[in-house]
Amino acid sequence: MANAGKITGPGDALPVQAGKRTNPLAHVFDELIAFARSRSMFMLHYCTGCGAVELPPAMTSRFDMERLGIQPMVTPRQADILLVTGYVSVKTLKRVILTYEQMAAPKYVIGICSCTVNGGMYWQSYATAKKLNDYMPVDIYIAGCMPRPEAVIAGMRGLMEQIRTGEATAWEDYYRRYDHYLGNQQRLFGETWQTPTDIIAEAEHYDLIGPETRGEHTALLEKHQKPLEALQMQLTFGELERRF
Amino acid sequence: MSTGKELTRWLDDLLTEIEGIEVRRKSNKRLQVDIAPDALPALLALLRGRASYVHLSAISCVDWPNEEQFELVYHLWSYEMQSLVSAHTRIPREPGVYLSVYDIYPPAAFYERDIHEFYGIRFEGSPDLSKFILTEWDGPPPMRKDFDSEAWVHDHFDWQDYNPEWLQQLIAEGGGIAIRADEQRFSHHDDARDQPAVSQREPERDRQSPNTPEQPS
């Protein structure tokens, strides 16, 4: 475990850890997968605030985030990184949580700007959430008001390094301590708050059930939870049908 | 332009004829009218129907807690006269009920819904006073002066712990603050004038950050 975070050079023996799987090569591939994963990331930028203006220079030709293997992605289902750029109003926070829960694991959250750290200049505003990591686990904060593209790139490189060495496991925390995050969400949105995603079932699927996955807040959720209904599939061509 | 000026003068004369309102000409293009709340809808109907003030550009609200009043300001714009009339009226803060002007200006529905949400004024006859912008809000109307935003924030949010080691980590990686506060260009003047403050500040800084690595110069 001691060398879990150590960077292995090309000649070193790869660390083998005792795990559930018996295949000794499985962890070799884990390393390889982590290496590959850190170099091919799709980023969903949820541009909530002014920090978003630093992203176009970071993504386009001047600072060129794509040379790090980071590309923008259009949908949360295919994205690896959720980039929250700037203040998150209470209303937006709902959408950010919905977006985050839709993303497939492993997923990483970057909070850009001071506002995601502690509210920033909106610290006394009733409408703005203060600590993003109260509501979802955050891997890296890039502080600044606003951080320059160099800082954004540096933060991205930090995240890449954490993914490669296997340290970026904040997303597991959402499953292990779901009761804590749900409690903070309920504190803002009321006790009837629910999302379409069944986090506890996902935690069971990922084998990440911890002692704090269930608690008083999830009990409250189960009390109010309405089962999801499939959307009605319906196609109508009103005007077209009349014409042809 | 001359017809516009004539019309403006005509409007001034007309409005000063009406009893119970106070007309103040602010500039060529702005006219302030103070009017009692029961006469305001009639004035708006008059300005819209007879004087081409067809655009209600905003309704704004001011809270005067010491006078126990809300001030409502109706901003009316005329495209033909190129001028703005601000009709000010004051209603009692309790119970905070007033008439809707939706029947005169349909866009007023939005402004009234907004004011209802932020100040808690109920507009009789407004078509929809449901939640508008603060859909997640269940507290008191937040723009009232007696709403303590800071206390509400302390009740509902946690604060990030202060981690000075994060800054140390940044500096160790070669980033962070390159120019210290007392070395900045704008602080030289104050330091030269105010020497004791500097001597007090110096040991404090050294005590707080004993492990600060040398700055790359």
User: From B162, which residue of chain A is nearest by alpha-carbon distance?
Assistant: A118
DSSP string of A110-171, one letter each residue: EEESHHHHH-GGGTT-TTEE--GGGTS--SEEE-SSSPPHHHHHHHHHHHHHHHHTT---HH
Best interface-test mutation with A: which of B132, B134, B136, B149 has the largest number of A CBs within 10 A?
A: B136
Instruction: Identify from A91, A122, A126, A142 which residue to disrupt to test chain B contact, counting B C-beta atoms within 10 A and taking the largest count.
Output: A126
Contact A124 B150 (CB under 8 A): yes
- Please answer yes or no on whether B149 and A124 come within 8 Å at the CB atom: yes
State whether A188 and B136 contact (CB < 8 Å): yes
Residues of A in contact with B177 (CB under 8 A): none
Answer whether residue A88 is part of any domain: yes
pLDDT for residue A228: 76
- Full residue range of the structural domain in which residue B204 is found: 164-208
Question: What is residue A3's three-state secondary structure?
Answer: helix
Rounded Cα distance, B63 and B146, in Å: 9
Alpha helices by DSSP H, listed for B18-82, are: 40-50
Residues B200, B150, single domain; the answer is no
Q: Is A105 helix (H, G, I), strand (E, B) or coil?
A: coil
A3 within a domain of the structure (yes/no):
no
Q: CA nearest A192 in B: which residue?
A: B136
Q: Quick one: pLDDT at residue A28?
A: 75
Report the C-alpha gap between A220 and A186 in whole angstroms: 9
Q: Tokens representing A29?
A: 């591939």
Task: Provide the ipTM.
Answer: 0.74
Chain B residues touching A127 at Cβ < 8 A:
134, 142
What residue has token string 């091919």?
A: A40
Could A123 and B139 be called an inter-chain contact, meaning their C-beta atoms sit closer than 8 Å?
Answer: no
Query: What local confidence, expressed as pLDDT, does residue B203 receive?
Result: 45
A117-128 pLDDT, tens digit each: 888 889 889 999
Residue A240 is assigned to a structural domain of this protein: no
What are the distances in angstroms from CA B194 to CA A239, B199, B204?
79, 10, 17
Overall number of domains in chain B: 2
Q: Are the C-beta atoms of A183 and A217 separated by less than 8 Å?
A: yes
pLDDT for A112 beyond 70: yes
pLDDT for the residue numbered B172: 81
DSSP alpha helix (H) spans, A39-121: 55-59, 90-102, 114-118
Contact B157 A134 (CB under 8 A): yes
A92 and A183, same domain (yes or no): no
The CA distance from A130 to the nearest CA of chain B, in Å, is 6
A26-41 tens-digit pLDDT:
677 888 889 999 999 9
Residue A33, classed as helix, strand or coil, is: helix
**Which structural domain range is residue A73 located in?**
42-160
pLDDT value of residue B178? 60
Pair (A97, A177) in one structural domain:
no
Chain A neighbors of B156, CB-CB under 8 A: 126, 187-188
Chain B, nearest residue to A187 by Cα: B156
Q: Does any CB of chain B come closer than 8 Å to the CB of residue A30?
A: no
- Same domain, yes or no: B111 and B179: no
Residues of chain B contacting residue A131, judged by C-beta atoms under 8 Å apart: 157-160
Q: Is B3 helix (H, G, I), strand (E, B) or coil?
A: helix
Determine the residue among B147, B155, B160 to mutate to test chain A binding: the one whose Cβ has the most chain A Cβ atoms within 10 Å. Answer: B160
User: Rounded distance, CA B76 to CA A202, Å?
Assistant: 56
CA B124 to chain centre: 24
In a domain, B110, yes or no: yes
Q: Is A7's pLDDT higher than 70?
A: no
- Burial of A181 from C-beta contacts in 10 A (0-12 / 13-18 / 19+): buried
Radius of gyration of chain A (CA): 20
In a domain, residue B41? The reply is yes
| Residue B215 counted as domain residue | no
Copy the structure tokens of residue A238: 């009103």
Q: How far apart are CA A221 and CA A178, in angstroms?
A: 11
Spatial distance between the Cα atoms of A68 and A37, rounded to a whole number of angstroms: 12
Which chain B residues are closer than 8 Å to A97 by Cβ?
none
* Domain shared by B32 and B137, yes or no: yes
Q: Give A172-218 pLDDT, tens digit per residue.
A: 999 999 999 999 999 988 888 888 888 999 999 988 998 989 999 99
In chain B, which residues have pLDDT < 70? 1-4, 175-217
- Cβ of B156 within 8 Å of Cβ of A118? The answer is no
Is residue B213 included in any domain, yes or no? no
Same domain, A154 and A184: no
Does residue A96 sit in the same domain as residue A142?
Answer: yes
Does residue A58 sit in the same domain as residue A133? Answer: yes
* Average pLDDT of chain A, as a whole number: 85
Q: What is the pLDDT of residue B204?
A: 44
Whole-number Å distance between alpha carbons of A196 and A213? 17
Among B157, B166, B169, most A C-beta atoms within 10 A, so best to mutate, is B157
Inter-chain CB pairs, A–B, below 8 Å? 48
Q: Please, which residues bridge with residue A177 across strands? A: none
Domain-embedded: residue A61? yes
CA distance B33 to chain A (A): 34
Residue A96: what pLDDT?
93
Listed residues A138, A160, A182: the one ending a domain: A160
Query: Cβ of B153 and A123 within 8 Å?
Result: yes
Name residues whose C-beta falls within 8 Å of residue B104's C-beta, 6 or more positions apart in sequence: B41, B44, B45, B48
A119 reaches B (C-beta below 8 A): yes
Neighboring chain A residues of B157 at a CB cutoff of 8 Å:
119, 129-131, 134
Instruction: Read off the pTM.
Output: 0.76
Q: Do A124 and B135 touch (CB under 8 A)?
A: no
Would you call A180 an interface residue with chain B, using a CB distance cutoff of 8 Å? Answer: no
* pLDDT reported for residue A14: 59
Question: Is B214 domain-assigned?
Answer: no
Domain boundary residue, one of A160, A185, A208: A160
Under an 8 A CB cutoff, do B156 and A187 touch?
Answer: yes
Q: How far is CA A114 from the centre of its chain?
A: 18
